[in-house]
Amino acid sequence: MVAADLPRLQQFAGGLRRRQIEQSHQAIFGFGAKSHVSTGQPVHSASKTTAAKSEIRGSQCFPVLDRETVNFASTTGTRRALLVGLAAVPAAGALGAALSLLGTSAQAGPPAKPQEILLVSYAVTKAAYDRIIPQFTADWKKKTGQTVTVRTSYGGSGSQTRAVIDGLEADVVGLAMEADVSKIEAKGLIQPGWQKELPNNSIATNSTMAIFVRPGNPKKIKTWKDLDNPNVDVVLANPKTSGGARWSFVALWGAVTQAGGSEADARKFITGVYKNADVLPKDAREATDTFVKRKKGDVLVNWESEAILAKRNGEWTVPYKLFSPNVRTEMPIAVVDKNVDKKGTRKVAEAFARFLYSDAAQKAFADNGLRPVTPAGRAYAKQKFQQLDFFTIADFGGWAGADKKFFGKGGLWDQIFARSR
């Protein structure tokens, strides 16, 4: 500070004293430039599309890239400290406080630059993330002052996995099963041990498989066994492109083997079910649209969350069915190490992944049809979900063996599909 500045600061301190006497705090808070107050509403920009090859009858799967940007214009941290400090300081020390706080302002560094991360997830999670992402960006902005944009890509889990392997630079993946994350790990994009980086072995949500039927249930679908009746037209997604479809396959398999049937019995049953499927949509969302909007099929096997959302949105009001035994699906989250280190986004990406276990995020998952995994989340959702007799992928040796056995080249799915056509 130079001597010429002293009269200005003395004048400022005197003015502050007069304002305090007059108890005009609004005048104190209003000196200098006016601050802009944002409503905090998300700003949506045009969608982009990234193509990823799909194995469903020679067509292509196009994961949707939604851009969700939340910009919060607010007073900087230093500016807020200056205002609060000046309002609270005794008048006799106003000049000293002004000098001290102005010095603090001069030493403060520039705000962190805005960052952008990409979340790649499976199709049915969109409704939940539409709520979670603004919560995270607001929380991060409040804690750090940094503006973060979370771009999103949704599609069949298998298609999304191949897209990331082929170069889609995801910072965080939220896929339908551990096997898909493991495929990305095998390509060197995710470091081994990712399961231990987050709570609950990096499983952020659970779900199960539900049965949609037509009004009045004209085909009398009451148990799993009814799905292989020759007069029942079944809609299921394609296990080669959809994680939900692979879980459906496991649910059908376990419906036989977990009830005491043999593998030969399970193979016969599933072959009959897929013989009844005239169409295999590329992902769970398209499977729902095929059944609900295009009115194809007598019964749909799909995620419980799809049934809940269809009912909530007024798309399908017929009560869905949950059969026991049923599979408890486990959907993992992982940070894509190679991409975040390349882009310098590790800190934000890891914070976003951890945020998915917060009470706010777990409630958002529950409200959008996905079963929470944290104690607080489960308590919140206790009345929302039906309790079932669950089995898990661990009952079949885990995904490491089951994925190869069921869906690997020449595996059970390939054999059954060939026989059912």
Measure Cα distances from 311 to 219, 233, 298 in Å.
Answer: 21, 22, 17
* pLDDT one-digit tens code per residue, 88-124: 334 444 444 443 444 333 334 567 899 999 999 999 9
Q: What does pTM read for this prediction?
A: 0.74
Structural domain includes residue 101: yes
pLDDT at 312: 92
Q: Are 413 and 407 in contact (CB under 8 A)?
A: yes
**Residue finishing a domain among 89, 107, 125:** 107
Provide CB contacts within 8 A for 253, sequence distance 6+: 266, 270, 396, 406
Structural domain includes residue 384: no
pLDDT at 418: 85
β partners of residue 64: 49, 154
Structural domain includes residue 345: yes
Q: How far apart are CA 8 and CA 109, in angstroms?
A: 25
Helix ranges (DSSP H) in 276-336: 284-292, 304-312
Number of domains in the chain: 3
Structural domain includes residue 371: yes
The domain in which residue 257 lies consists of 209-327+389-420
Give CA angle at 393 (391, 394), nearest 5°. Answer: 90
DSSP state of 405: H
- Helix, strand, coil percentages in the chain from 3-state DSSP, rounded to 5: 50, 15, 35
pLDDT at 417: 86
Give CA angle at 294 (288, 298), nearest 5°. Answer: 70
The residue-averaged pLDDT of 378-389 equals: 96
The residue-averaged pLDDT of 37-45 equals: 32
* pLDDT one-digit tens code per residue, 328-377: 999 999 999 999 999 999 999 999 999 999 999 999 999 999 999 999 99
Same domain, 275 and 315: yes
Lowest mean per-residue pLDDT among 24-38, 268-282, 338-352 = 24-38
